[in-house]
Structure 1
């Protein structure tokens, strides 16, 4: 990852069909592609600032460039966050969205499955952003029909609408093989398809399973040993990338960086010989508690 010159702020990870990249905003927007084996070494400069609101592909800067706490899961000040949620499908404040939506079934690990929706035009990007290892479409149609189907399936199948990232990353290094993952998704897809009460305006989609283990670089991924809890002014992160899944960067030495904590910082290349010196927490082996964390 090559950090741009001064005047560019990190926006976190950005997924596309071409793979992951670190996003930047400043004089426009750009990305730095990521690949397994790549050495990353960067230092935080100045303070972490609100990134404003991004809507319809355009970013409106925070009018006062308010500072944001280092441990916050979002690089938005309260005012920009409220504005963002005032016209949001996720917050149910944009029910008139005319786009076609898709309902999906996403698998993150044994017993960790969720149902969700995403705009059809985004393709599988939402699944990459969430770190879904294996997934399948369930249906497509208008927003409200997709939302009703999501609620129906969640209640009938007993699956949640979100899973804590701590739980997802805890099992990535020891997942069952692809056929077993696919079988679990296929079985749940069949149960969902057999349920009565689907909205008539929602078109059913047959079971075609996609696996993201290759895109995430999960083969040989090390167990998570340490987790960055925040960046600080002058703090440095150094390591060699093993893989990336959802917002997480996994390093070969077991360090994990949740890139949502990078958003809002101006980053510069670390000097030669630098070492990681930001606040960390040691991650105990084994799955964490199932309760929802602050960064989900």
Structure 2
């Protein structure tokens, strides 16, 4: 990580996560750092957090944004990004094929969503879905109507907070049990086939995909603390033991495992730090139930 490189967040282009970077003042200067479980990671935040821009473009005013927000965008860039978002229901004429999916994050924690077929399962990894199955494929509006139908009929939410996803990772059931639960939900969805599924949506057979190994969930992921934001000069360091969605799980000495939501890192200039330096940014205790407001 050289001087002037700002983090653009965590991506899941395949079965391994990577951090993206852009260089200040050099249009088009971007790179990515592949992450491997077991590797030692250490970085120090420098200066102020800057707007991440919109739709791949830099912020025209290089605005300073709050350290604790997960959006990492100024109001204007956030508006522009939202205006081109399928999730925001602002695009109706997208010609691409979309897929409807059923995602499982923990016992009883299920949601239905859609993603562009060309993206494959990247969207599921970005959300931290432990198990998922495709439900169908077709035009955007057919996929959206199916998504709305299933949400209402199955009584599942349109989104699940990351805080809830983190808590259940400490006690996930085995592969067989969680796959079985997804199969049950798939069966409920399939039983609604004659009750409003658009004819233009092609049904897809049940095929559970488990991300346990992809995320590094070889055993219980007992997280003790979560980073709440970076500060100038603050360090985050440790051994990477797991990752899911935007979260990195770092084993940090006597402090136990700390989860870093990389949406909080986006927009910061980061420089290398000693991997044994621990964590010296604000954190909250999510393992024992208490709250730690100071610096570690």
The CA deviation at 1:19 is 0.8
The residue number in structure 2 matching 1:69 is: 66
Deviates more, 1:100-109 or 1:277-286: 277-286
Unaligned runs of 5+ in 1: 287-296
Deviates more, 1:275-284 or 1:240-249: 275-284
The residue number in structure 2 matching 1:80 is: 77
Question: Is 1:13 the counterpart of 2:10 in the alignment?
Answer: yes
The CA deviation at 1:285 is 4.2
The CA deviation at 1:12 is 1.4
The CA deviation at 1:29 is 2.1
Task: Judge conservation of contact 1:134–1:210 (CA < 8 Å) in 2.
Answer: yes
The CA deviation at 1:212 is 0.1
- Structure 1 runs (4+) deviating above 6 angstroms are none
The residue number in structure 2 matching 1:269 is: 272
TM-score normalised according to structure 1 size: 0.91
The residue number in structure 2 matching 1:294 is: none
Q: Aligned equivalents of 2:84 and 2:165: distance in 1?
A: 29
The residue number in structure 2 matching 1:175 is: 172
The CA deviation at 1:128 is 0.1
Question: Is 1:154 the counterpart of 2:145 in the alignment?
Answer: no
The residue number in structure 1 matching 2:294 is: none
The residue number in structure 2 matching 1:185 is: 182
TM-score normalised according to structure 2 size: 0.91
The CA deviation at 1:273 is 5.7
Distance 1:272 1:218, change over 3 A: closer
Task: Judge conservation of contact 1:139–1:205 (CA < 8 Å) in 2.
Answer: yes
Q: Aligned equivalents of 1:165 and 1:41: distance in 2?
A: 24
The residue number in structure 2 matching 1:249 is: 248
Q: Aligned equivalents of 2:74 and 2:66: distance in 1?
A: 9
Question: What is the 5 A alignment of 1:40-119?
Answer: 40-54=41-55, 59-119=56-116
Unaligned runs of 5+ in 2: 290-296
| Aligned residues: CA RMSD | 1.3
Q: Aligned equivalents of 1:284 and 1:188: distance in 2?
A: 30
Q: Aligned equivalents of 1:98 and 1:283: distance in 2?
A: 43
Task: Judge conservation of contact 2:137–2:203 (CA < 8 Å) in 1.
Answer: yes
Task: Judge conservation of contact 1:35–1:243 (CA < 8 Å) in 2.
Answer: no
The residue number in structure 2 matching 1:31 is: 32
- In structure 2, the residue corresponding to 1:60 is in which secondary structure? coil
- CA deviation profile, 1:248-292 (whole Å, cap 9, x unmatched): 111222111000000000100014763311011111448xxxxxx
Q: Aligned equivalents of 1:155 and 1:222: distance in 2?
A: 32
Task: Judge conservation of contact 2:42–2:276 (CA < 8 Å) in 1.
Answer: no
- In structure 2, the residue corresponding to 1:41 is in which secondary structure? strand
Among 152, 156, 160, the residue aligned to 1:163: 160
Number of aligned residue pairs: give it: 279
Deviates more, 1:150-159 or 1:17-26: 17-26
